[in-house]
Amino acid sequence: MRASYLEPNDIKQLDNSLIQLALDSDTRSVLLFMADEEQYLEKSLSPILKRVKKPIIGGVFPELIFMGERKTKGVLIVPLPFELNSQLFDLSDPPEEFQDQLELAQKDSLDISSSLFIFMDALSSNKESFIESLFNFFGINPTYFGGGAGSLKFEPFPCIITNTGMHTNAAVIGWTNKKIALGAAHGWQPISSPLKVTKANKNQIVSINWNPAFDIYREIVESHSGMKFKTDNFFHIAKSYPLGITRLDAEMVVRDPFKITDNTIHLIDAINEGEFLMILHGNMDSLLAGASRAKEIAFSKLDDNMNKNSVFCIDCISRALYMQNDFKKELAIVGDSITGILTIGEIANSEESFLEIYNKTIVIGVW
């Protein structure tokens, strides 16, 4: 992979790099990612993006990965040897319009052997409807690969990047008729029996097993951890105890609790009323085993048309926050020269299963 990393505060170097890629016959499309800290303002970046004729998609993410190292600042540029049929979506549009927009722009993008890059605003309230629309349109055939953009400040800002500039409450996709080898895993293990979500509102769990949600969660977690929840330590404990939504013959979908209000558990992404979940726990060994498993799955799907050196990692920022300095061990497992992004939610499909938004999960793609 010929990815390059640029330090922040050098807009001229970024401009020159994109000009060179525009002239490079081996580059058909470009992935462009910025770290949230010291990011370029829209008014500075948009004119540069608009001058590039080749498809550009990407976004602003909490952190980047370049040559096996975390980057809290700067820009990551990934040239692609295949063309993307890109499309921007305003996620404030009514969900029923997503299907119509896909019909207009992607009607020829239904090749069985294909892949779809997806980057979307992690704070959008319509992101689940958007993902459902993508799956309804493209079906089980493509490999879906992407993540949620934004900042750990959890405040809206223009975080989606295309040739037309930077966009808030938006999503961008890029379809290619090339297959990507994909592996997704997490390494979190259940510590409870299945629990039924008896009342939920989008990303909020109100009740579990007909009892206040936090009461059930607190009892199980405090018993297992030996710690007590107080008014100021919920996230400190909860980052080690995510929730797992059970799926038949597939990896559990992890949901990340981040706060409590009135015994209601708030998650990063949505959960459906009536679903069954388990409380999960992990340690360094189990999470690193998950990273190893994701790489193993991806590499088991390689074919002769793929370059085993073109490995891209989409990893959850909360995994890095949980592992702290030991996160470098996870990156070393994936590869010393690994490139990627740390996201707020990971987008992937496992074999022929439904397209999912994951949390606390690592996704490996090879093209």
Model confidence pTM above 0.85: yes
Show Cβ contacts of residue 289 under 8 Å, excluding neighbours closer than 6 positions: 187
Examine residue 190 and state whether it is found in any structural domain, yes or no. no
Q: Are residues 137 and 163 in the same domain?
A: yes
Q: Are residues 256 and 359 in the same domain?
A: no
Q: What is the DSSP string of 257-277?
A: EEEEETTEEEESS---TT-EE
- Among 281, 314, 340, the domain-final residue is 281
Q: How far is CA 251 from CA 9, 281, 353, in A?
A: 41, 15, 10
Q: Are residues 21 and 161 in the same domain?
A: yes
Encode pLDDT of 201-256 as tens digits. Answer: 989 999 999 999 999 999 999 999 999 999 899 988 998 999 999 876 667 889 99
Q: Are residues 156 and 34 in the same domain?
A: yes
Please, what sign has the CA dihedral across residues 277, 282, 285, 288?
Answer: positive
What is the average per-residue pLDDT within 38-61?
A: 94
Beta strand extents in 274-350 (DSSP E only): 276-281, 311-316, 339-343, 346-348
Integer Cα distance of 183 and 350 in angstroms? 8
- Among 281, 301, 325, the domain-final residue is 281
Q: Are residues 275 and 326 in the same domain?
A: no
For the record, the structure tokens of 40 come out as 């370029």
Could you tell me which of 105, 113, 152 has the C-alpha nearest to residue 133? Answer: 105
Integer Cα distance of 303 and 210 in angstroms? 49
- The amino acid present at 173, given as its one-letter code, is I
Q: Are residues 273 and 130 in the same domain?
A: no
What is the average per-residue pLDDT within 331-339?
A: 93
Domain with 354 in it: 4-185+287-366
Encode pLDDT of 145-200 as tens digits. Answer: 999 999 999 899 999 999 999 999 999 999 999 999 999 999 999 999 999 999 99
Q: Are residues 109 and 34 in the same domain?
A: yes
Examine residue 191 and state whether it is found in any structural domain, yes or no. no
**Which DSSP category does 333 fall into?**
H
Q: Are residues 169 and 277 in the same domain?
A: no
- Among 281, 316, 333, the domain-final residue is 281
Q: Are residues 120 and 262 in the same domain?
A: no
Show Cβ contacts of residue 262 under 8 Å, excluding neighbours closer than 6 positions: none
Strand, coil or helix: what is 144?
A: strand
The predicted structure's pLDDT at residue 161: 98
Q: Are residues 100 and 235 in the same domain?
A: no
The domain total for the chain is 2
